[in-house]
Amino acid sequence: MAKKALLLGATGLIGSHLLGYLLDSEMYDSVAVVGRRSTGVKHPKLVEHICDFASIAQHPELFVCDDFYNCMGTTIKKAGSQEAFKEVDHNIPLAAAKLALAGGAKSAWVVSSIGADPKSSIFYLKTKGEVEKAFVDAGFDRVMLFRPAGLLGKRNEMRMGETLGIGFMKIISPLLIGGLKKNRPIEAKHVAYVMAHQPVNHVKGSRVFESHEIEQIYGSMMSGCRYME
């Protein structure tokens, strides 16, 4: 039975790749995106809603779906404050997810971050950990949590600090072995590919995909082998 997917963050680095994969997927006969601006994508399966996220509670019909995907996010610097960052990375996705659940959604795919931990003393990682926990507790049948390290890929905007940090990690990437492997930067499109293609029907409750696992699954998929748990 073909299903309906709903995607938040479709104009972002991971989200734009994911949108393409979801539109190509035979699993979905409809892919809805909700965002503050258009993706510019034209596709017969795509339904776009441009909205003000402050008033989504008045438009529950926009969030009716089977599968909910969240790639929304910002940085504390870009948002301007910790509070504004939390609104984008935590409050809005959760409000949208609750509307999706009320509309019948059973599964959620959430982009989180390496190091996400509700007990972290680092605000960004603490917020990501809190988002993960809130999604797990929300009531979906299954929740897939993706924890990428620094994202590689072409952005339309310049993020100097992030680019330098990820560039440095890329250079030292071959030295990151054993327990350090998960810190290797990862292509955003690999994260999106695994989100769209990894079979998850057997997942009951939640499952965390660490960055190095995402890369491993992607590599297996590209070489035609099935990833083994």
Ligand X SMILES: NC(=O)c1ccc[n+]([C@@H]2O[C@H](COP(=O)([O-])OP(=O)(O)OC[C@H]3O[C@@H](n4cnc5c(N)ncnc54)[C@H](OP(=O)(O)O)[C@@H]3O)[C@@H](O)[C@H]2O)c1
For ligand X, the binding residues (CB under 6 A) are 9-15, 35-37, 53, 71-74, 88-89, 111, 113, 148, 150-151, 162, 188
Helix H or strand E encompassing 28: strand 28-35
What is the C-alpha separation between 81 and 32, in angstroms, rounded?
Answer: 30
Residue among 107 and 113 whose Cβ is closer to ligand X: 113
Nearer to ligand X, 26 or 59 (CB): 59
Give the shortest CB-202-to-ligand X separation in angstroms. Answer: 25
Give which of 168, 165, 163, 147 is closest to 73, Cα–Cα.
147
User: In a 3-state reduction of DSSP, which class is residue 16?
Assistant: helix
Q: Which is nearer to ligand X, 30 or 74 (CB)?
A: 74
CA max distance for the chain: 51
Question: Is 58:184 a contact under the CB 8 Å cutoff?
Answer: no
Measured CA to CA, the distance from residue 142 to residue 129 in angstroms comes to 17
C-alpha 197/C-alpha 214 separation (Å) is: 11
Nearest approach in angstroms of CB 218 to ligand X is: 16
Can you tell me the distance from the alpha carbon of 165 to that of 167, in angstroms, rounded to the nearest whole number?
5
What residues are annotated to the active site? 124, 128
- What is the CB neighbour count within 10 angstroms for residue 57? 10
Report in angstroms how near the CB of residue 220 gets to ligand X at its nearest.
Answer: 22
**Minimum CB distance to ligand X smaller for 2 or for 57:** 57
Provide, rounded to whole angstroms, the least separation between the CB of residue 122 and ligand X.
Answer: 13
